[in-house]
């Protein structure tokens, strides 16, 4: 059952870092908006460079212009609600523990962000919003996109898991017989959103041997 019928529906915070794999963020936004969820989105400063490197696209620097940009990339022009925040706006609502959310997902999540969060260091809005989820006992889902993991990466991820974060690596499965890159990406997005109890990504799930 789609959880979007619940009233009132708490917003979901999405953080996008400078890790490779922006398609993961785009598909997450697409499915949440299509299901009429409310999203608070913050992209790190490094995200601008990744858009240029991966798609040769310039992401608007102004938060006020980013909603249209992300909606166009996701192919969802009108559904749901999307509020974009500037990475340096540490006074935004998602920076406060009193702002109620369903939780936060960082997708894709860089190892730099993982390291800062593990050390309790918040240098921008994305990191502060994630730190808020940890201190408030909220849901923080991390989708790291890195390989191989160094021992430092693994220790930092373990620290965050011990602090309550859920780690969902960008590792697709194959039992659903993927035919496209989107099929592989959507599997990861679905498993990440499963951590919120959301079922809004149309994927073939494992039901056992026939």
- Annotated binding residues for dimethylallyl phosphate: 175, 191
Binding-site members for FMN are 18-20, 44, 110-113, 145
- For residues 3 and 68, give the distance between their C-alpha atoms in angstroms, rounded to a whole number: 25
What three-state secondary structure class fits 20? Answer: coil
Q: Report how far residue 159's alpha carbon sits from residue 164's, in angstroms, rounded to the nearest whole number.
A: 9
Helix, strand or coil, per DSSP, at residue 63: helix
* Residues of the binding site: 18-20, 44, 110-113, 145, 175, 191
Distance (Å, whole) CA 177 – CA 116: 37
Burial of 82 (0-12, 13-18, 19+ CB in 10 A): buried
């Amino acid at each position: 059952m789609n959880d979007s019928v619940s009233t009132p529906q708490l917003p979901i915070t999405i953080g996008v870092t400078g890790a490779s794999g922006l398609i993961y963020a785009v598909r997450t936004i697409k499915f949440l908006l299509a299901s009429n969820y409310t999203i608070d989105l913050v992209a790190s400063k490094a995200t601008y460079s990744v858009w240029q490197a991966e798609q040769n696209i310039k992401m608007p620097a102004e938060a006020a212009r980013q909603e249209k940009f992300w909606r166009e990339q996701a192919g969802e022009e009108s559904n749901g609600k999307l509020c974009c925040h500037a990475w340096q706006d540490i006074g935004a609502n998602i920076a406060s523990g009193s702002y109620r959310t369903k939780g936060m997902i960082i997708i894709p999540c860089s190892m730099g962000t993982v390291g800062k969060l593990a050390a309790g260091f918040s240098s921008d809005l994305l990191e502060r919003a994630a730190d808020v989820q940890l201190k408030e006992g909220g849901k923080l889902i991390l989708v790291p996109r890195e390989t191989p993991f160094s021992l430092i990466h693994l220790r930092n991820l373990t620290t965050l898991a011990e602090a309550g974060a859920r780690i969902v690596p960008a590792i697709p499965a194959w039992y659903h017989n993927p035919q496209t890159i989107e099929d592989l990406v959507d599997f990861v997005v679905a498993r990440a959103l499963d951590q919120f109890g959301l079922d809004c990504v149309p994927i073939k799930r494992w039901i056992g041997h026939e």
